[in-house]
């Protein structure tokens, strides 16, 4: 892939991440799968919080890349991205249902 095309894709992703968080979407998921969420305590209903944190981490990491300072991304931030990676999310039983 051409580096300029890749850079443009990153800029477009960044623009999307700077828009307001899609709370209506996470609310809709919780509505559509209400029986599953009803079985969770308030402390265990992590969907909106974790997804919000995941999106903010992507946006923050991407900002380093876009200004050419990817070597300065904090190690903890990279570890959090690994934790929230799609492969990790696939191991969460609830997401297998959706």
| pLDDT digit string (tens) for the chain, length 98 residues | 688 888 888 888 888 877 777 788 888 888 888 888 888 887 877 788 877 888 888 888 999 999 999 999 999 999 888 877 655 555 555 555 44
pLDDT in the model for residue 73: 94
Q: How far apart are CA 30 and CA 77, in angstroms?
A: 28
pLDDT in the model for residue 74: 94
pLDDT digits (tens, 9 = 90+) for 18-33: 777 778 888 888 888 8
- Which DSSP category does 98 fall into? -
pLDDT in the model for residue 93: 57
Q: How far apart are CA 10 and CA 64, in angstroms?
A: 11
pLDDT in the model for residue 88: 53
């Amino acid at each position: 892939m051409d580096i300029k095309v890749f850079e443009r894709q990153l800029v477009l992703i960044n623009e999307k991440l700077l828009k307001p968080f899609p709370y209506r979407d996470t609310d809709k998921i919780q509505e559509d799968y209400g029986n599953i969420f009803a079985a969770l305590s308030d402390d265990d209903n992590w969907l909106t919080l974790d997804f919000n944190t995941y999106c903010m981490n992507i946006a923050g990491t991407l900002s380093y890349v876009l200004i050419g300072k990817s070597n300065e991304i904090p190690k903890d931030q990279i570890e959090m991205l690994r934790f929230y990676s799609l492969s990790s999310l696939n191991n969460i039983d609830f997401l297998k249902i959706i």
